[in-house]
Structure 1
Amino acid sequence: MTAPATAETERTTDTPTVDGDGRGAGGRRRFGVLVLALAVVVGLLLGYAGGLLTPRLTRPGDASVEAGFARDMSTHHAQAVGMGLIAFQRATDPEVRQIGVDIATGQQGEMGTMQTWLRSWGLDPTGSQPPMAWMPDGDGLVRNGLMPGMASPEEMAKLRATQGRELDILFLEMMIRHHLGGIHMIDGVLAASAEPDVVRTAQTMKNTQRTDLTNLQAALKRLRG
Structure 2
Amino acid sequence: MRRSALPAGVVAAVLAAAVAVGWTVAAAAGDEGSSPAAVPSADSADAGFARDMAVHHQQAVEMSYVVRDRTDDEEVRRLAYDIAQTQANQRGMLLGWLDLWELPKVSADPPMTWMGMGDAAAGEDGALMPGMATDAEMARLARLSGRRAEVFYLRLMTAHHRGGVHMAQGCVRACEVGAERRLARGMVEGQESEIRLMAGMLKARGASARP
Counterpart of 1:93 in structure 2 is 73
Matches of 2:113 and 2:49, distance apart in 1? 9
- 1:95-146 CA distances to partner (integer Å, 9 max, x unpaired)? 1111100000000000000011101111121123221111023432321351
Q: Is the 8 A contact 2:72 2:146 kept in 1?
A: yes
- 1:50-74 CA distances to partner (integer Å, 9 max, x unpaired)? xx976xxx21111111111101000
Counterpart of 2:203 in structure 1 is 221
Matches of 2:167 and 2:152, distance apart in 1? 23
Please identify, of 194-203 and 72-81, the stretch whose mean Cα deviation from structure 2 is larger. Answer: 194-203
Asked if 1:204 is matched to 2:186, the reply is yes
Q: Which of residues 109, 132, 137 in structure 2 aligns to 1:155?
A: 137
- 1:27-80 CA distances to partner (integer Å, 9 max, x unpaired)? xxxxxxxxxxxxxxxxxxxxxxxxx976xxx21111111111101000000000
Give secondary structure in 2 for the equivalent of 1:134.
helix
Asked if 1:175 is matched to 2:157, the reply is yes
Q: Could you tell me how far 1:205 is from its partner in structure 2? A: 1.0
Aligned-pair identity (%)? 37
Q: Which amino acid aligns with 1:85?
A: Y
Q: Which amino acid aligns with 1:215?
A: L
State TM-score, norm by structure 1: 0.72
Counterpart of 1:127 in structure 2 is 107
- Please say which structure displays the higher CA radius of gyration: 1
Counterpart of 1:164 in structure 2 is 146
Counterpart of 1:102 in structure 2 is 82
Matches of 2:65 and 2:127, distance apart in 1? 23
Q: Could you tell me how far 1:94 is from its partner in structure 2? A: 1.4
State TM-score, norm by structure 2: 0.77
Q: Which of residues 29, 47, 59 in structure 1 aligns to 2:39?
A: 59
Q: Could you tell me how far 1:163 is from its partner in structure 2? A: 1.3
Please identify, of 74-83 and 123-132, the stretch whose mean Cα deviation from structure 2 is larger. Answer: 123-132
Cα distance 1:164–1:64, how it changes in 2: closer, same or farther (>3 A)? same
For residues 4-153 of structure 1, what are the structure 2 equivalents within 5 Å? 58-143=38-123, 144=126, 146-153=128-135
Q: Could you tell me how far 1:91 is from its partner in structure 2? A: 1.8
Q: Is the 8 A contact 1:65 1:134 kept in 2?
A: yes
Cα distance 1:170–1:61, how it changes in 2: closer, same or farther (>3 A)? same
Task: Please provide the CA RMSD for this pair.
Answer: 1.6
- 1:134-175 CA distances to partner (integer Å, 9 max, x unpaired)? 102343232135101000000000000111110011000100
Give secondary structure in 1 for the equivalent of 2:205.
helix
Q: Is the 8 A contact 1:87 1:171 kept in 2?
A: yes
Runs of 4+ in 1 over 3 A off after TM superposition: none
Q: Is the 8 A contact 1:132 1:142 kept in 2?
A: no
Matches of 2:56 and 2:66, distance apart in 1? 16
Q: Which amino acid aligns with 1:61?
A: S
Q: Which amino acid aligns with 1:89?
A: D
Name stretches of at least 5 consecutive residues in structure 1 with no aligned partner: 1-51
